[in-house]
Structure 1
Amino acid sequence: MMKYSNGKGKIISNREVAPDHYKMEVEAPTTFGEALPGQFVMVKVSDGVVPILRRPFGIFQTNKDRGSFEILYRKVGEGTRLLADIAPGVNLDILGPLGTGFDLDLSGDNPILIAGGVGIAPLYMLAKELVSAGKQVKVLFGSRGKNDLLVVDELKTLGIELLIATEDGSEGFKGYGTGLLEELLERGEEISSVYACGPEPMLEKVDKIAISHNLICQLSLEAIMACGFGVCLGCVVKTCTKDKDREFDYNRVCCEGPVFNAGEVIWDEA
């Protein structure tokens, strides 16, 4: 298991990149330089007792030259509202990197990365790593509309093929990202593997598509969690088991996940 750090990190920047979406850069302990795509960090968003629990955020990217990491988050609840108001120069209580990241060895030569909304966060770092490894990477980014698309300019600098799907048709393919994935497969596009992160209904659909097309697929789940390292058991999901004496297993999103292989998660219980 990779070592993680529990300490302070100074905020370098914290800016709004789209309505109610923010990107934060934080000075990091040295362990963050070895973070893998798909891992996450637990952040205490307040020095007070409310909220008492840290919040999990996928690592958007690490900057080894600056000794920092970045997170991309949506301002949606009390914790993220507090986080959005914190100014550069403030020290954050951080714990990480945590969790099981994506397995790049499964990618093959033509991987496709499918993001829904802020689910682009861990996939950005994955795309960078796969391009560096010489892969022909497609990134399929789905959102409600054009104004909800995040870090598009940064994605375009990676040397990937960017495919956009919007539910309202304001940009790219009109419909869900999973609908565009099905269209690509019907057209016979060469896809060696699928990596996905986004809302649970999207992940369930990607899972079913991958299984039906016999595709290697990994899915990054989001979950509410209290500790981030497997003790509280607050983030468990039901998963398939090979044990004949049990109907299912429980796995922790913070440890065995957040990345799971296609066919592992029992979705009606996730």
Structure 2
Amino acid sequence: MLITDAEVVKQKEILPGFYRMALSAGEAANYAKPGQFLHVRCGETLDPLLRRPVSIHAVDREKGEISLFYRVVGRGTALLAVKEKGDRLNLLGPLGSGFTMPGNSGRVAVVAGGIGIAPLYFLLQELSGLKIHADVFTGAATKKQLFFTSEIKALGHSVFPATDDGTAGYRGTVVNLFEQNPADRVYSCGPAGMLKSLCRVIRKHGIWGEVSLEERMGCGVGACLSCACKTVSEGENYRYRRVCVEGPVFPAGEVVWE
């Protein structure tokens, strides 16, 4: 298991409360796969005691850098937000199971809800490197919260925005927009309600899909079971699987939405 003492290369507040941080973490960058996460020690002491799971947002393997995109929601992420260039963070990972990369056939779509673009951007980087084009459906409450649109287009992908207030693109949910333009394969991350709706669409149209889940975590390595989620097993049975180990990426048809 890889533990890295990484140096902060850059930190920028994209919007109030939303930050993008680049870290020098060569070995972790080399091993990282889209959909995986890092378990980050946010403070310099054991307070707060628990690390925080943060999706791997982008990777530059040539520079040996990993980027994180996160929102300040509590004490741990508030400590991350005050980090400056030259500060150090202790990282555990990459951890978890990532996205399954597609072959060269069939139309690929990515559906992101709000900050759900965080792990999907790394996926889009890798797809671009494989010369695979994706239709990217991004949803947010308002235009300001549609993150990285120009950067995604620069990677060679098409962007189809949806906003609740109609300030950009389609007025309505990103799931409704996607259903009007379904694909052969879909990858997604976002709020649980959005993913639940998307999984219904995936099932209705018989689409292959994977979704990245967000759960509170304790250990991050499968020992504490605090991040277990309900999934379909054989027949009509169910089983609980650990988001930190078997996930955070799951086949869309396996997740049981309660």
TM-score bin, normalised by smaller chain: over 0.9
Are residues 1:258 and 2:248 paired?
A: yes
Farther-moved stretch of structure 1 (191-200 vs 107-116)? 107-116
Aligned residue in 1 for 2:172:
175
Once structures 1 and 2 are overlaid, which stretch shifts more, 97-106 or 257-266? 97-106
Decide whether the 8 Å contact of 2:4 with 2:28 is kept in 1.
no
CA contact (8 A) 1:11 1:87 kept: yes
Q: Which amino acid aligns with 1:147?
A: K
**Aligned residue number for residue 210 of structure 1:** 202
Structure 2 unaligned segments of length 5 or more: list them.
none
For 1:214, give the aligned amino acid. G
| 1:122 maps to 2:147 | no
1:113 matched to 2:105: no
Give matches, 1:1-270, under 5 Å.
4-105=1-102, 108-185=105-182, 191-242=183-234, 247-268=237-258
Which amino acid in structure 2 is aligned with residue 25 of structure 1?
Answer: A
- Contact 2:136–2:158 under 8 Å retained in 1: yes
Within 2, Cα distance between the matches of 1:29 and 1:66?
7
Deviations 1:72-105 (A, max 9, x none): 0011211111110111111101011010000013
Task: Quote how far apart the aligned CAs of 1:56 are.
Answer: 0.6
Q: Which runs of 5+ in 1 are unaligned?
A: 186-190
- 8 Å Cα contact 2:52/2:76 also seen in 1: yes
Please give the secondary structure, in 1, of the residue aligned with 2:102.
helix
Tell me the distance in 2 between the aligned counterparts of 1:64 and 1:134: 18
Is the CA contact (8 Å cut-off) linking 1:27 and 1:67 kept in structure 2? yes
For the 8 Å contact 2:42–2:77, the answer to whether it is kept is yes
Quote how far apart the aligned CAs of 1:107 are.
Answer: 7.5
* CA shift for structure 1 position 29: 4.2
Across the two proteins, how many residue pairs are aligned to each other?
258
- Output the amino acid matched with 1:18: L
- Name the SS of the counterpart of 1:249 in structure 2: strand
Identity over aligned pairs, percent: 38
One-letter amino acid of the counterpart of residue 248, structure 2: P
Deviation at 1:135, TM superposition (A): 2.0
Q: Is the 8 A contact 1:19 1:148 kept in 2?
A: no
CA-atom RMSD, angstroms?
A: 1.4
Deviations 1:9-60 (A, max 9, x none): 0111111112211000011141331211101101011012322111111111
What's 1:188 paired with? none
- TM-score normalised by the chain length of structure 2: 0.96
What letter is aligned with 1:100?
A: S
Structure 1 length as normaliser, TM-score? 0.92
Moved more, 146-155 or 220-229: 146-155
Partners in 1 of 2:2 and 2:141 — Cα distance? 36
